[in-house]
Amino acid sequence: MVRDPATPPPAVDSPGYDGGDPVTTTSGTAMGVPKSDDCEPQEPGVAANLVEGGNGPAIPVFEGSSSLTSLASAVTRYRIENGRRYHGYRDGAYWAPNDETHNEQQDLAHHLWLLTLDNQLHLAPLPEGVQKILDVGTGTGIWAIDMADNHPSAHVIGVDLSPTQPSWLPPNCSFEVDDICLPWTYTPDSFDFIHVREMFGSVDSWPTLFEQSFTTLRSGGWCENVEHSVWPVSDDESIGPDHIFSRYGRLMEELGAKRGKEFNCWKKNRKRMEDAGFVGVQELRTKWPMRGWSSDPKMRTIGVWNQARVQQGIEGFAIRTLTTVGGWSYTEVQAFVGEIRTALKDRSIHAYLDCSIVYGQKP
């Protein structure tokens, strides 16, 4: 597949930014920039309404169920809360929506990772001829599809709680609906590469996830974990502890801990991977500026795209955790989200998110 070059969003608040060269991604359609009306607050819906989803799972994955029909219905029967759509299967296991607004944010994040890794889909040094690849928490499936295009001899499997992936796929790519926090049923020693990206706030036990990954990989196989912080920080003290960015990050980490699912896993996952038995573990630490404030051209471009991503996604990032765990009202969340969107345009702020890419090999 060939994509048209992606066009960066306009850097309206970033004087001197010329947009740089267009970045060509390896996936199927050109990245779109969120329209202004995409970021308007949605009207509150009736919490816990259920609606039928338009797409079923790409392949049946729950073999042995007493009622595949009932299970398929549960998978595609989504929950509506405060005007946002959430997965129905294993309801509450994931903290963010699965609607089109959030899915567009996920594709923006994929583009950001491509920019971060200089258009590479991974850092693990995979050998030629890998045969089986697992994408944990595949989301829209964009990484898995790109990977299948780049490795036509491999079978790439993406697994997620929601069947929101496209139906038009490379022949060597498939998707499964399952909860990766449950015991895995994959054959031990069967995968060459396991990719885990942006699972912060979603995993009950990271040590268990890495142990299951280790068991499922063949000897010589690789595991890679890609995460970013949800707590913006600055090196020049342009944001303090009471700034809206700091309040948001602190709240998300505290409320995530109450759910037993860390948002700051990026700080600890290198050691957890080593503890699971992986060897030669390497970690790349980098940053995503919150807007295009950096003097470095690459970081400036990443900041412009990250600003667009947060502007697009911040309501979805915040609303379920703040309302269900924090006890906030819809109106309180909208006011909070509005403060964050305003802060994204503040030229005096030099905030960023920490990022971590960790990879290791099964001996």
What integer pLDDT is reported at residue 121 of this predicted model?
99
What integer pLDDT is reported at residue 33 of this predicted model?
37
What integer pLDDT is reported at residue 18 of this predicted model?
35
pTM of the model: 0.82
What integer pLDDT is reported at residue 92 of this predicted model?
80
What integer pLDDT is reported at residue 89 of this predicted model?
85
3-state secondary structure of 357: strand
How far apart CA 64 and CA 67 sit, in angstroms, is 9
What integer pLDDT is reported at residue 287 of this predicted model?
98
Candidates 108, 91, 104, 100; CA nearest to 23 is 108
What integer pLDDT is reported at residue 66 of this predicted model?
38
How far apart CA 13 and CA 293 sit, in angstroms, is 9
Q: Measured in whole angstroms, how far is the alpha carbon of residue 354 from the centre of its chain?
A: 14
How far apart CA 158 and CA 140 sit, in angstroms, is 9
Domain boundary assignment for the chain = 46-361
How far apart CA 71 and CA 76 sit, in angstroms, is 9
Q: What kind of architecture, by CATH, is found in domain 46-361?
A: 3-Layer(aba) Sandwich (3.40)
Q: What are phi and psi of 151, to 5 degrees?
A: -130, 75
Query: Which DSSP helix (H) or strand (E) runs through 280?
Result: strand 279-289
How far apart CA 164 and CA 144 sit, in angstroms, is 13
Looking only at the bridges linking them, the beta strands covering 191-197 and 217-228 are parallel
One digit per residue, pLDDT tens: the chain, 363 residues?
Answer: 333 334 434 333 333 333 333 233 333 333 433 333 333 333 333 334 434 343 333 333 333 333 344 455 667 788 999 999 999 888 888 899 999 999 999 999 999 999 999 999 999 999 999 999 999 999 999 999 999 999 999 999 999 998 989 989 999 999 999 999 999 999 999 999 999 999 999 999 999 999 999 999 999 999 999 999 999 999 999 999 999 999 999 999 999 999 999 999 999 999 999 999 999 999 999 999 999 999 999 999 999 999 999 999 999 999 999 999 999 999 999 999 999 999 999 999 999 999 999 999 999
